[in-house]
Amino acid sequence: MLVDGMALLFRGFFATAFRGNFMKTSEGMPTNGVYQFLRYFLDAVHTFEPTHVICCWDMGSKTFRTEMYADYKANRDKPPVELIPQFDLAKQVVDHFNMPNIGLENYEADDCIGTLAKIYAKDHEVTILTGDQDILQLVDDGIRVAIMKKGQGNYDLFHQHNFYEKKGIQPKQIIDLKGLMGDPSDNYPGVKGIGEKTALKLIQEHGSIDALIANINTLPKGVQTKIKTNMDMLLLSRSLAEIKCNVPITCELDRALWNYDRERIIGTFESLEWKYLDKLV
């Protein structure tokens, strides 16, 4: 199982912080995000029963995508001050489970997940745990994606046999779909004036952005104009949307065996003044 660490941590933080519940230790260290991160994570372990687990992280806001497009994710607020110290704390707790923390400067966690998933799927079944729909493009032979839904323990599981039924396109076509419609959360526009409904119809009918461009004169005049006017941004948005699956990282599976010292974990929980989590390990 490959875990999108940042997705779980942010989800856990905001799920518990909206009422000002930051769960601080007696020394004033906020822990709510990491506590909820572990509840999500351990539930997924019990649900999917992986033999090996790796947690992947973003390593900063600057990546090759911000070099390509300066406004990439520029619309996002800075993390709340209560969350900032929990980034390192989350990695420390993950390490106490004898679970690898993987991340690479200049790349996003998605790129690390994509690279490792492709490597391991050659000989193993891989489950990716995330709340990020972008990762659906990785669904393939031996790779399934568990999207976390509202509430704990609820997952939307995507694999090759149900993907088309759920989405109406193939996994790799997610990249072209986002190239056309853009992504407001990542702050790139795609083709101005083409929304999700139109983008989906175009990809279903033509298969890819390349095919659209090759047959552009057969498209409705309005769509032609929008694509021709925004051609550079269309191609850039497609590049931004694509998860890179060849980044220079490795992680031997022996390092990721799901096997931890329960007493050590209980000690970690006690040091952070957490109750009830010991029932989950």
Question: What is the pLDDT confidence band of residue 20, given thresholds at 50, 70 and 90?
Answer: confident
pLDDT at 63: 96
- Calculate the CA dihedral of residues 174, 107, 17, 78 and round it to 10 degrees: -110
Rounded mean pLDDT, 112-128: 97
pLDDT at 126: 98
- Calculate the CA dihedral of residues 113, 116, 117, 120 and round it to 10 degrees: -160
Pick from 131-135, 163-167, 250-254, 274-278: least confident? 274-278
- Cα 2 to Cα 67: distance, rounded to the nearest angstrom: 27
Predicted confidence (pLDDT) at residue 238 exceeds the cutoff of 90:
yes
Burial of 18 (0-12, 13-18, 19+ CB in 10 A): exposed
How many of the other CB atoms lie within 10 Å of CB of 114? 25
pLDDT at 218: 94
Question: What is the pLDDT confidence band of residue 279, given thresholds at 50, 70 and 90?
Answer: confident
Q: Find, among 264, 211, 278, 205, the residue nearest to 238 by Cα.
A: 211
> What is the layout of strands, in order, in the sheet containing 2-4?
101-102, 54-56, 2-4, 126-130, 143-148, 155-158
Question: What is the pLDDT confidence band of residue 25, given thresholds at 50, 70 and 90?
Answer: very high
Q: What is the mean pLDDT of the chain?
A: 95
pLDDT tens, position by position, 27-62: 999 999 999 999 999 999 999 999 999 999 999 889
